[in-house]
Amino acid sequence: MESALEWDLARTLLEWQVELGVDECIGEAPVNRFELAPEAPAKPARAAAQVRHAPEEVRERLEVDAVDVARQAAQSAGSLDALRTALDAYDHCELRLGARNLVFADGVPGARVMILGEAPGRDEDREGRPFVGRAGQLLDKMLAAIGLSRTAEDVSRAVYITNVLPWRPPQNRDPKPEEIAMMLPFLQKHVALAKPDVLVLMGNISCQAALGQRGILKLRGHWSEAFGLPALPMTHPAYLLRQPHAKREAWADLLSLSARLGQGR
């Protein structure tokens, strides 16, 4: 009798719900209709298939570790000429596709001072040398004020100049972190082969690459260490052209550099 009452009650309740408009059953566990559906596991397989069926040149680019390739190429270079050749042969950085020239270095190898700039601009890209535009002309005047020159025959009065990136970024944009990472092994080797006494880090990108820090207005004027050498961050000459009032601080930094070189004699 008890089971019949339960059956009748269940049927009555069901009919009542149908009259209310219920048209489907509800499960015992709640369902979150706003939750994002998990990605289908077939996607990685499709991505792998796309890589397999890509043209050989594209497939090789996707499958290699660009930083590891850069590291191996830099380590194998035993001279500055060999390093330049290795950079010129490195085809994993897309910046080279839009650049006219590889901008490797300028000045006197073996100079006591090595300047690390950021990236080539339009004039540098055209001539294939770093710091040849308006910023470069200002840099030459700044160096001359403390008796230094990129053309000096005496290595104790000479400078050697390079950039973090050897190719001009489009529209002079800031280098991307992955671009800096690819060029870092070459930069480290460049410093090791040039064998300067001190480094001058011109601008934010140079500090990011050599020190792992940004904020040049706070870093400038404070000696640090990069690649095992004393390093002095300075504001980029291009910044000084836009903000002439900052030249006083740049002059103080130049005097600090001159004093450091005098102590090293």
What the chain holds in terms of domains, given with CATH numbers, is: 61-263 (3.40.470.10)
Predicted pLDDT at 36: 60
Q: How far is CA 220 from the centre of its chain?
A: 20
Predicted pLDDT at 9: 72
Predicted pLDDT at 13: 73
Cβ neighbour number for residue 48 with a 10 Å cutoff: 10
Dihedral angle sign, alpha carbons of residues 169, 175, 176, 181: positive
Predicted pLDDT at 33: 59
- How far is residue 176's CA from residue 169's CA, in Å, rounded to a whole number? 9
Predicted pLDDT at 137: 97
Predicted pLDDT at 17: 72
Predicted pLDDT at 243: 97
Q: What is the mean pLDDT of each run of 10 residues along the chain (265 residues)?
A: 59 72 67 59 46 52 79 97 98 95 97 97 96 97 97 95 97 94 98 98 97 96 98 97 96 98 71
- Residue written as token pair 């260490």: 225
Amino acid in position 24: E
Both tokens assigned to 174: 């800031």
